[in-house]
Amino acid sequence: MAKQLNIGIVGYKFMGRAHSNAWKKAPLFFDVPSQPVLKVACGRHQASLQEFAQKWGWEETETDWKKMIARPDIDIVDVALPQNLHYEVAMAAARAGKHIFCEKPLAMNSRQAEEMLRVCEENHVTHYLNHNYRRLPAVLLAKKMIETGKLGRLFHWRCAYQQDWIVDPNFPLTWQLRKETAQAGPQWDLNSHAVDLAHFLIGDIDTVSALTTNFVTERPLADESTSGNLTAETLGDQKGPVTVEDAALMLVQFQNGAVGSFEATRFATGKKNGLTFEIYGSKGSVKFDLERMNELQYYSLNDEAGEQGFRTIQATDPTHAYMQGWWPPGHIIGYEHTFVHAVVDFLWAIDGNKPIEPNFSDGLRILTVLEAGLESAATGQRVKLN
């Protein structure tokens, strides 16, 4: 493979690791048009950055992301940072003509998202927003079944994204629990994924009603140097206020007449990274559960009377999206594979000078729904979009 693309990654914690793995694996398993080169890893703390770079095979380190973006040999900027830092880094990257692979949620608000999209378009860079669950073979099977009319007219979308990593009231006040760094709680972090899936599978949303709540209102301050994998240590005994919601529930009407519900929480004791959705239509239904991510449940009204029932389809043979790149039929894949799929499509998008989805335009649409949800929760009123 003659062509090479040099990557500069900013951020080296959970997502930094997930992205690094994907850059490395993509050309090993898939046909890609260019070889991604793990060129520069960027972060604030030189010692831990160095350790990360060595482990994952990044050639160089840099503690000033502006210097990294200014380098003419960097082709792609990978934004693996908390959302309060996306705007500044992505804007600089786009202005410098770099393609952008950005973690979700896109930004702190739709105003920032609008500008990020505009500047990317003005500078003709490829922009990708990493709502990785779209690239699960079972989710793509659901999409294909909807598009080929297997479910008929869509009536219901029912989605729950449930985690439990802050159930302990002594879990520290990490950046995810403070408005200035996260903007919102599970509404941003988890419902952004859920709304992206709903846009992808059902369509645009017309109205939103929501409520949010807090179960724990103050927590011990966090030692952020120890945070990164949804764990962290406290910084002494001092406490501070939790300034984002702990759970967010939304009810929506889609433009096509379907109705939907979204439940996002970090207080679903026992659920670590539970994401389920159900879609009910006039001819059939599908159900998906991330904890069984290689499967899709399907119910068809076309099955004979007396033989109807949900059946399990294993999305693990070469007819299913991306599976031909991996193992022989029936061999399952996992969470990290979705990041690899995204990298493969991103490299092809750059090569063909074509957009990839989801991108910053999708991110803007998602944030508009999430903001409407927060507005509805604050006012008690249903909010109409557009």
Q: Bin 175: left if φ > 0, else alpha if -120 < ψ < 50, else beta.
A: alpha
Minimum CB distance to ligand SOE, residue 193 (Å): 6
Q: Which stretch binds ligand SOE (CB under 6 A): 71-79, 87-95, 187-195, 246-254?
A: 187-195
- The residue from 163, 285, 316, 359 that contacts ligand SOE (CB under 6 A) is 163
CA-CA distance, 161 to 142, in Å (whole number)?
18
Residues contacting residue 88 through CB under 8 Å, at least 6 positions apart:
none
Beta strands across the sheet bearing 295-300: 311-314, 295-300, 284-289, 274-281, 154-162, 259-265, 247-254, 205-213, 383-384
Q: Identify which of residues 50 and 273 has a Cβ nearer to ligand SOE in the complex.
A: 273
Q: Per CB under 6 A, does 21 bind ligand SOE?
A: no
CA-CA distance, 368 to 111, in Å (whole number)?
9
Q: Identify which of residues 216 and 230 has a Cβ nearer to ligand SOE in the complex.
A: 230
CA-CA distance, 187 to 379, in Å (whole number)?
16
Q: Which stretch binds ligand SOE (CB under 6 A): 25-33, 189-197, 308-316, 342-350?
A: 189-197
Q: Identify which of residues 125 and 182 has a Cβ nearer to ligand SOE in the complex.
A: 182
Minimum CB distance to ligand SOE, residue 93 (Å): 21
- The residue from 35, 214, 234, 273 that contacts ligand SOE (CB under 6 A) is 273
Asked whether the CA dihedral 12, 18, 21, 23 is positive or negative, the reply is negative
Q: Identify which of residues 62 and 189 has a Cβ nearer to ligand SOE in the complex.
A: 189
- The residue from 62, 75, 78, 189 that contacts ligand SOE (CB under 6 A) is 189
Minimum CB distance to ligand SOE, residue 312 (Å): 24
Residues contacting residue 326 through CB under 8 Å, at least 6 positions apart:
29, 333, 337
CA separation, residue 281 to residues 106, 114, 162, 201, 285 (Å)? 31, 34, 24, 12, 6
Minimum CB distance to ligand SOE, residue 98 (Å): 23
Output the residue with the shortest Cβ distance to ligand SOE: 189
**Under the rule (CB under 6 A), what is the footprint of ligand SOE?**
14, 163, 189-190, 193, 230, 273
